[in-house]
Amino acid sequence: MRKMRLVMAVMCVFHAPEAGAQDSQNPRTETGFLSGRADSAAAFAEESSLYAEQAAEKADEAHKFARRAYRSEKSEESKDYARKAMRAAEEARQTALLARESALQAYHASKSAVQAAEKNRSS
């Protein structure tokens, strides 16, 4: 289901310039076009946010396993690898959280664009 919405959003964004060129004569239609394009961007940003959140959860899980390996192994070399794995997992988690935050900001910005387009359409 998610992939279908993502594909639809991408298709709307890439086919949007053609539709805008045809409808640029009518400001009301152009506003509707912009609203649709912003809705597509909002859907795409929301999907990105969900994927980033899933990535952060997986990085947390990897970090937990690396921590367990670090605690259970006796060999110094194994502990060194476990430390590196924990650092990498933590960096991945931080990056995923930043991506999620960025996607949420894009989502809210596109929602604001939709509201502005709707306001322009009604006036």
Q: What is the pLDDT of residues 60-103, one digit of tens each?
A: 888 887 777 777 766 877 777 778 888 888 888 888 888 888 88
Is 119's pLDDT higher than 80?
A: yes
Indicate if the pLDDT at residue 56 is higher than 70: yes
Residue 32 has pLDDT above 50, yes or no: yes
pLDDT reading at 24 higher than 50: no
**Residue 66 near residue 89, CB atoms below 8 Å:** yes
Four-residue CA torsion sign, 19, 24, 25, 28: positive
Cα distances (angstroms) measured from residue 36 to each of 18, 29, 39, 72, 86: 13, 10, 5, 54, 43
Q: What is the pLDDT of residue 111?
A: 81
